[in-house]
Structure 1
Amino acid sequence: MLLSFLCDTTLTQPTRHDESTPASSGRDKIDYENALGFLYDRIDYERLTTGTSRYPFRLTRMRELLGRLGLGHFIELAPVTKLASAAERTSDIERASKPAVIHLAGTKGKGSTASMVAAALTAAGLKTGLYTSPHLQQLEERFRVDGQICHPNELISLVDQVRPVDEALMSDGIGAGSFFELTTALSLLHFHHSGCDAVVLETGLGGRLDSTNVCWPDVTAITSIGLDHQHVLGDTLAQIATEKAGIIKPGVPVISGVRADEPAEVIERIAAEKNSPLLKIGRDFTLDWQPNPVWGSQITFHGRTNPLGKTLAAHVAMEGEHQARNAAMAIAIVQVLRNRLPTVIRGDIKSADITDATIAGALANLRCDGRIQRYALSEKTTGIIDAAHNEDSIAALCQTLKRRATTGPVAIVFGTSIDKSSGPMLEQIAELAKHIDLKRIQITRFNGNPRWRPTAELMAQMPDSLRPIAVVNDDPIQACQAGLQAVTPGGMLIVCGSFFLAAETAPWMHSITCEATDAS
């Protein structure tokens, strides 16, 4: 059985449930639409589209919001407690009935890693909440308990509880909550009502001032540092690392997957300043990786520093060397958390139940929608949808395609957001074309969000080597259909460049799928 989790970090437009969902008839549908409207009305699309102004992060308001919702046990501990011993902190957490919290930041990989961690804890019997963003089809995908998305009717109930508190904040002069503040509060409220033993939180943007950063974690992790959201986080890797390392808490272990010297030094310095034990990939744990002949990979994790286990071999169902690295991060996170949990977590659920075999089984059965997601199409043609939307994630996709697209023609459908580095991404595709039989690159845009980059601008940035095979079609489905025609039979159709584009093309791709693959 495949567990399905959703990954990444940008905003998508609301989508509606079909007639099979309870929120789609009568009064329930009206209440559901009103709940969505309450949240989406908080998005300033004009500001987001310009991509130049700083985001108004306000952690004080986020703390106040959680406190008034009765979620104060999630909020970071008082300064005197922060400096207490690990045993004392655990005692405080237990008295407050606080679930274990795992907090992740990173330019790339944090959503997949968060999903892997959550899957491993669920497999071990812990009721586990997972908060990620954005969603592909419906907002409730952001709030999952043991892999199951929040029910639409539960979303209505959650919004009904949050709305009056938000109105009170406005009346008191504190201000209305932002979209991310409200959805973060909704997720924690959902996890609290569900009685979660563990909660895995993915930052939405950055870390230091992200709305999730009011929570006190048991383990933190920074998966990678790259150039993205520079208008908010800074123009250098060191500046971006400083923002993301803002999730590190005094005395709380931090796992780092960052390899580049400049950002790695920043993380090491901040961890030392906060007396937070730091476990680094390449120093405290390493990874052997080998791609499987068809899909996925085999990995062997080697722990070098306590409390990491010595060796763990696993099959990773998700494709790509980058997902193997994410799996190594997830293994390290879970093993460190296992060492910090009380012996008895709940009833007959014990920390000892989080075995290496359980972790390996979760990695073998996990997929993430929109992450190099594979579809078996007609006439031996393969479809792939990937939400890659920055230089690092496009590089990971291109690396994978060099291995997997070695035979048959290839077509790429590409569209991205106005605030993304589209030129460098197109240059990476041009380099990929030297290694594969790229027949067509369809330049398109998404329709459900105003942040799209105009196709004329993308064509102006098109590398000379790609111009002869570049075609513009502003309709993403028509662009996919044209690309598919160019590579059928026996070829590969790839959709990439934006989570928004992945969301709009996934239903079409699924509708023409001939047999179960990653899309099942």
Structure 2
Amino acid sequence: MTEGSDVILQRMMSLHPKIIDLTLDRVWRLLERLGNPQDRLPPVIHIAGTNGKGSTLAMIRAGLEARGERCHAYTSPHLARFHERIRLAGDLISEPDLTALLDEVEAANGGEPITYFEITTCAALLAMARTPADWTLLEVGLGGRLDATNVVVPRLSVITPVALDHQQYLGETLAEIASEKAGILKRQVPCVVAPQEDAALEAIEAAAARLGAPLIAHGQHWHVWEERSRLLFPDEHGLLDLPMPRLKGPHQVINAGTALAALRHLGADEAACEAAVDADWPARMQRLTTGPLVQAAGQARLWLDGGHNPAAGEALAATLAGMGGNGWHLICGMLNTKDVAGYLRPLAPHVATLHAVAVPDSDATLLPDQTAAAATACGIGATTAPQVAAALAAIVAAEPDARILICGSLYLAGYVLRENG
């Protein structure tokens, strides 16, 4: 019987003792054995940053596709199924194609040490090199300089807002982290830069100066803001007056602006830009409207968000404030590598209760008691629940028309989307 992709992916997870081990040596070795597919890709748009990479990529893709152009896209992590990571000329990779691809790449690797992200990135690059398209959109997995995607010379680089996250790998300060993100910059390749704190912008500018990489920077070359429920975007090409992004929250205005700056640099017209702001991306303040959890919620309204660091907490707090009221009920599960208090503190003024859960199927989950303790320390009334469904039942029993947000981890969001169908 032929193995499915899930079996091969599970085996790939055991090829290296560390989940994250930042170096490009193993990637270059495998790509060489595969015939260097990174050199045969359609023009690449390479996207790094701490928050907003996926949303920005989705908006750029929507704008390009509105012009009739075909886009490959590589994103991570996936939410429900691995196939979400690899999109070929607009369509998610099929199960037969993914299985054959993984078989080929696993054989080429020959059992040598390599991380799961590295080997699957090589597989994605191979698939994209073999499939005709007009563009390749690559989202950095972690950092930039030593990320497995950083083997390309792109047509355009993009750096979304940089914030503190993954300090154990990228550095303790904002400047150090920004320098790692700026590692995707290539000599004389333009880079769109989203709004940044001063320390991050200075680090990006220093890297760009060394490489002669022109910057298309927020505050200098383009601006974006909301006015009277419209999105205004002026740049050197003129003023765009567009609908607000479909994705909710003030931070999505920034992501939309970043995507629009990229599209305008690539010559997109107003229709393509309007298509960009209409893009959707799962687990970004996503309203759940169907499925078993929604049925169990009854009259209550249910949202899902995968943000998980302090900057994401601030963005989410601004989103909740914009939606009105301060009586939100959170079902929260986080990983033990995250700054839990930093994430929860901005949310506290908007939250009535928090039910802490474990992130299912994760060895790195924070114990619910620990999440609840962090929430209590931030001034949020917190308790624990054995799983999401139990937390939902407890909230609905106490307040049938509650507004409920499941949050704290992309892995928890992925579990919810799988379980909810």
Q: TM-score, normalised by structure 2?
A: 0.92
Relative distance call for 1:179 and 1:371 in structure 2 (3 A) is same
Q: 1:302 aligns with which of 227, 234, 238?
A: 234
Structure 1 runs of 4+ with >6 Å offset:
none
Give matches, 1:420-459, under 5 Å: 420-433=338-351, 438=352, 440-459=353-372
Larger-gyration structure (1/2): 1
Equivalent residue letter for 1:483: I
Which residue number corresponds to residue 312 of structure 1?
240
Q: How far is the alpha carbon of 1:43 from its aligned partner?
A: 6.3
Q: How far is the alpha carbon of 1:32 from its aligned partner?
A: 3.0
For residues 205-252 of structure 1, give each alpha carbon's deviation from its aligned partner in whole angstroms, at most 9, with x where no partner exists: 000000100111110011011110000001100110110000000000
Check conservation: 1:140, 1:155, Cα contact below 8 A.
yes
Give matches, 1:209-224, under 5 Å: 209-224=146-161
Give matches, 1:61-460, under 5 Å: 61-72=26-37, 74-75=38-39, 98-167=41-110, 175-290=112-227, 292=229, 298-304=230-236, 309-315=237-243, 316-338=245-267, 354-364=268-278, 366-376=279-289, 377=294, 380-406=299-325, 409-433=327-351, 438=352, 440-460=353-373
Q: Matches of 2:12 and 2:242 in 1, distance apart? A: 40
For residues 387-425 of structure 1, give each alpha carbon's deviation from its aligned partner in whole angstroms, at most 9, with x where no partner exists: 010011111111110111428x42111110000000122
* Identical positions, percent: 30
CA RMSD in angstroms comes to 2.1
Equivalent residue letter for 2:360: N
Q: Matches of 2:276 and 2:322 in 1, distance apart? A: 25
Equivalent residue letter for 1:276: A
- Segments of structure 1 that go 5 or more residues without pairing to the other structure are 1-26, 49-54, 76-96, 293-297, 339-353, 512-520
Q: Matches of 2:332 and 2:10 in 1, distance apart? A: 30
Which residue number corresponds to residue 410 of structure 2?
499
Check conservation: 1:410, 1:487, Cα contact below 8 A.
no
**Number of residues paired by the alignment?**
414
Which residue number corresponds to residue 392 of structure 2?
480
Q: Matches of 1:226 and 1:379 in 2, distance apart? A: 38
Q: TM-score, normalised by structure 1?
A: 0.75
Q: Matches of 1:291 and 1:225 in 2, distance apart? A: 28
Which residue number corresponds to residue 463 of structure 1?
376
Q: How far is the alpha carbon of 1:147 from its aligned partner?
A: 4.2
Equivalent residue letter for 2:257: A
Q: Matches of 2:23 and 2:342 in 1, distance apart? A: 33
For residues 125-181 of structure 1, give each alpha carbon's deviation from its aligned partner in whole angstroms, at most 9, with x where no partner exists: 2211110001111111100135422111111110122122101xx5xxxx4321111
Which residue number corresponds to residue 84 of structure 1?
none
Relative distance call for 1:465 and 1:278 in structure 2 (3 A) is closer
Q: Matches of 1:217 and 1:479 in 2, distance apart? A: 45
Check conservation: 2:191, 2:214, Cα contact below 8 A.
yes
Relative distance call for 1:474 and 1:299 in structure 2 (3 A) is same
Q: Matches of 2:196 and 2:128 in 1, distance apart? A: 33
Check conservation: 1:255, 1:279, Cα contact below 8 A.
yes
Check conservation: 2:70, 2:90, Cα contact below 8 A.
no
Q: How far is the alpha carbon of 1:182 from its aligned partner?
A: 1.1
For residues 4-37 of structure 1, give each alpha carbon's deviation from its aligned partner in whole angstroms, at most 9, with x where no partner exists: xxxxxxxxxxxxxxxxxxxxxxx35x33343222
Check conservation: 2:376, 2:382, Cα contact below 8 A.
no
For residues 356-395 of structure 1, give each alpha carbon's deviation from its aligned partner in whole angstroms, at most 9, with x where no partner exists: 212212322x211111001245665321100010011111
